[in-house]
Chains A and B, each alone.
Chain A
Amino acid sequence: MTAGRRVVVTGFGLASALGNTPDRFWCRLLAGESGFRPISRFDPARHKSRLAAEADDRDLHFGKGALAFELARMASFVRFAVHAGEAALEGAGLEPVREAADRGLIAVGAAMGGLPNIEAGVLRQEDRGPGKTTPFLIPSLIPGMAAGMLALRPGFQGPQQTLGGACAAGRLAIAHLFQAIRRGDCDWGLAGGAEAVTTPITFSGFEAMNALSLASGPDGAPRPFDRRRDGFMVGEGAALLVLEEWGRARARGAPVLGEILGAASVTGGTDIVTPDAASADRSMRLALADAGREAGEIGGLFAQGSGVVRGDAAELEAVARLLPRVAVTSIKAQVGYTFAANGPLSLVAALMSLQNGVLPGIPTFESPDPDSPDLRILAAPRTCPLRTCMVNAHGFGGVHSTLVVGRT
């Protein structure tokens, strides 16, 4: 176990295809509802994959912070992040401008940033000419603008950081803040991830990789860990969490929604896009050691479980080595693959599971691969006494990362 200060979660907010509040997200997740609908952001007729789990961008709520004009022109991932982050701060009862700036940190993960704005900007440039590009194009799409807006709007003057790390970016941002508070570098902060890339070039790119599920129709959804899985499906979303040093949170009477116990991140494998079983195993073992927990203490695993054939198989191989009797679930069948928001949304689901003593299932899971190890993959919610959960998030470039969270 890594020595240091205890770090608790005192607020979280989110945007997702299942709703833009944690309560709505949780209720619909537990009810097994699907966030997948026909793509509305563009005409998907030319693409093989025509469904996506889009978050409702008409249902975003922003406080009275500055830069409202600019926020309206930001890419969706920025707007989702600001909606989620401001809700998290409100829930935690924190006003960044009233806090000591040098004791706070804002860390946001973003994988592809404003890809839709890039694509639209290129098309407009070719259609109207280079002089007709909006001056807000570049600010709107840079990955760092989510953290930037979260810091600037409420007048936060401390450090802000943006982390890459592909689809583990949001989870890495949370671990970064967790470790900074644990070491004593800061006392509080806001961390998470955001992504919204429902745009034609995303689909062209992933279709070329044969990575997207071809599921269609009203019930079309990916099938994490199921033997019929055929790829992931694009989702949109954000989740931001307020982390605080435990004593400080207790002293100010903040709501304590869970505790971050440990984190680990490793690089491994020989492929730039496919997770590797040995590395996933190593990441989970290191996170357990960091948390000072034994494998037998884990009550549930919120897996990467995206529905991709080889990636899911590699993760299950790692689970079979370390957590063969642990209940395994994934939220991707309902909220889609939300890239940098994968880990943060799974973490919110894990925290709500710990609070409520129930793990959500994977509604599209029916049966595992014929040669798969015998694991406890949940097809339906399971009520159980939960004290500790694990959250995995992997990303292109060999990133394998894990968080361990507990009930306080």
Chain B
Amino acid sequence: MTVTTDTELLTTVVREIGVFLETDTSHLRPDSSLTAELDNMNSLKLYEMMLYLEDAIGFSFDEKVVDRLDTVQDLVDYIRERLR
């Protein structure tokens, strides 16, 4: 997947989170918490979501980072870094 701008990447990440969770994620903003603002999110689902995003967006994540991702912006920033 080719994503050029931060805005595009944010849009893509929010959309793919919605696909993964099979839920509406249009309420998510950059400072939204990945756990508190996603219904029933937990550490297992977050890791599973990273595996999904890895394939959907085309990057490779280091499993140690999962515990450090608090907000949507954290996730976007990390993916941006990995896409470089």
Residues of A near any B CB (own CB < 8 A): 69, 73, 131-132, 134-136, 139
Contacts and interface: CB of A to CB of B under 8 A. Distances in A.
Contacts of A135: 43-44, 47-48
Contact of A131 (B21, B40, B48, B63): B63
A130 to B, nearest CB: 9
B62 A136 contact: no
Sorted from nearest, which 7 A-B pairs have the closest CB atoms? A131-B63, A135-B44, A135-B47, A134-B48, A135-B48, A134-B51, A136-B48
Contacts of A136: 44, 48
B82 interface: no
Nearest to A66: B40
B45 interface: yes
Interface string B26-47: 0000000000000010011101
19 contacts: A69-B21, A69-B22, A69-B40, A69-B45, A73-B48, A131-B62, A131-B63, A132-B51, A132-B54, A134-B47, A134-B48, A134-B51, A135-B43, A135-B44, A135-B47, A135-B48, A136-B44, A136-B48, A139-B44
Interface residues of B, number: 12
A136 B62 CA distance: 18
Given A135-B44, A136-B44, 16 more contacts: A69-B21, A69-B22, A69-B40, A69-B45, A73-B48, A131-B63, A132-B51, A132-B54, A134-B47, A134-B48, A134-B51, A135-B43, A135-B47, A135-B48, A136-B48, A139-B44
A131 B64 CA distance: 9
A341 B4 CA distance: 53
Contacts of B22: 69
Contacts of A134: 47-48, 51
A131 B47 CA distance: 10
A134 B51 CA distance: 7
Contacts of B63: 131
Contacts of B44: 135-136, 139
Nearest to B41: A69
Contacts of A132: 51, 54
**Max count, chain B CB within 10 A of own CB: residue among A69, A132, A139:** A69
Contacts of B43: 135
Nearest to B47: A135
A135 B45 CA distance: 8
B50 to A, nearest CB: 10
Contacts of B54: 132
